[in-house]
Amino acid sequence: MAGSYAELIRDTRYEAAVDLGMVTLFVQSLAQRPATVLDAGCGTGRMITHLSTLDPELVIAGSDLSPGMLARARSQHPGLELVAADNASLPFADERFDGVLAWYSTIHTPPHRLGAIFEEFRRVVRPGGLVLLGFQAGTGDRRLDKPYGHDVDLVAYLHHTPYVRDALIHSGLAPVAVLDRSARGGGARRRGRGALRPVPPPPQGRCSRLELRFSTVWK
Ligand SMILES: C[S@@+](CC[C@H](N)C(=O)[O-])C[C@H]1O[C@@H](n2cnc3c(N)ncnc32)[C@H](O)[C@@H]1O
């Protein structure tokens, strides 16, 4: 599956510009230079490439649950510290990082397990450091049918934003900024020269919005 993911989602060209704006703000807001960043759930490492483009001085480490994804990331980023780990149990010292990026890496985590992950992010980020989460907002889950062309079962969870907010605060992460945008192609669709045509809302439990949460650590 890692190979198909790397082929299909090679870089950030399909990311909405406003989402990448949040990533840029995250990098620019890191307090020290050179800053240390963990890409938690780094997958094939495409966001590591993007982070390095934004600031070549960043000291980046990555972690992911999937050995296949990590093997890809290692081939793209030889020399970086890229480790196999669950977001809920990271093998890094307390307060090691200035920032943690979790870009769609909580989407396979059921809501009741998010708290353990946020506590781990808070533990590895220094006081005043930043955590940026990107995930699809909504409720329910979707069983992905042959994800990336492979015959495996994969569930993607939508996360209810008030629940995420409460879980972050409970973990000691104070919300700084929230971007909550419509799914592209849902709600209103661009047609012709900028005309907007309303389209029916997605069915209950389907992807409705993308939400990015930008939080800082209080201790
Ligand atoms: C949709 S991919 C996103 C990968 C990467 N962040 C990107 O934007 O290309 C989700 C990734 O999260 C990883 N993942 C899922 N659950 C995880 C967990 N509990 N701990 C660490 N990684 C996890 C998966 O192995 C996969 O590589």
* 57-81 pLDDT tens trace: 999 999 999 999 999 999 999 999 9
CB proximity list for 19: less than 8 A, separation 6 or greater: 134, 179, 181, 210, 212
Which residue ranges have their beta carbon within 6 Å of ligand 1? 9, 41-43, 46-47, 64-66, 69, 86-87, 103-105, 107-109
Which is the closest atom of ligand 1 to the Cα of 113? 19
Pocket test residue of 64, 106, 135, 155 for ligand 1, highest count of atoms within 8 A of CB: 64
pLDDT at position 142 is 84
Query: Is residue 193, in this structure, part of any structural domain at all?
Result: no
CA dist., res. 165 & res. 168, Å (int): 5
Gap from CA of 196 to ligand 1 centroid (Å):
34
d(CA 120, CA 90): 7
Å from CA of 118 to ligand 1 middle: 15
- Radius of gyration of the CA atoms of the chain, in A: 17
Tell me if residue 184 falls in helix, strand or coil.
Answer: coil
Point out the ligand 1 atom lying closest to the alpha carbon of residue 44.
9
**CA dist., res. 139 & res. 206, Å (int):** 8
Q: Report yes or no on 192 lying in a domain.
A: no
The total of other beta-carbon atoms located within 10 Å of residue 189's CB is 12
**190 located within any domain:** no
In a domain, 147, yes or no: yes
CATH code of 176's domain? 3.40.50.150
Angle separating helix axes 46-54 and 17-29, nearest 10 degrees: 60
Residue 195 belongs to some domain of the structure: no
Do residues 200 and 187 touch, judged by C-beta distance below 8 A? no
pLDDT score of 3 = 67
pLDDT (mean) for 34-60:
97
Give the number of residues written for the chain: 219
- Residues 167-210: tens digit of each pLDDT: 999 999 999 999 988 887 644 333 222 222 333 344 443 334 45
For residue 34, pLDDT over 90 is answered with yes
User: From its phi and psi, is residue 149 left (phi > 0), alpha (psi between -120 and 50) or beta?
Assistant: left
Q: For 35-50, what is the mean pLDDT?
A: 97
> To test the ligand 1 pocket, which listed residue (20, 49, 105, 114) has its Cβ within 8 A of the most ligand atoms?
105
**For residue 134, pLDDT beyond 70:** yes
209's tokens: 């919005």
What is the pLDDT, as a whole number, of residue 1?
61
Q: Kind and range of the H or E element at 161?
A: helix 161-170
- Asked whether the beta carbons of 191 and 197 are under 8 A apart, the reply is yes
What distance in angstroms lies between residue 105's CA and the mean position of ligand 1's atoms?
4
102 Cα nearest atom in ligand 1:
6
Question: How many structural domains compose the chain?
Answer: 1
Expressed as residue numbers, the domain containing 7 is: 2-185+201-217
* Residue 208: predicted pLDDT: 40
Q: Residue 196: inside a domain, yes or no? A: no
Grade residue 164 by pLDDT with cuts at 50, 70 and 90: very high
Q: Residue 30 corresponds to which tokens in the numbers above?
A: 């890191």
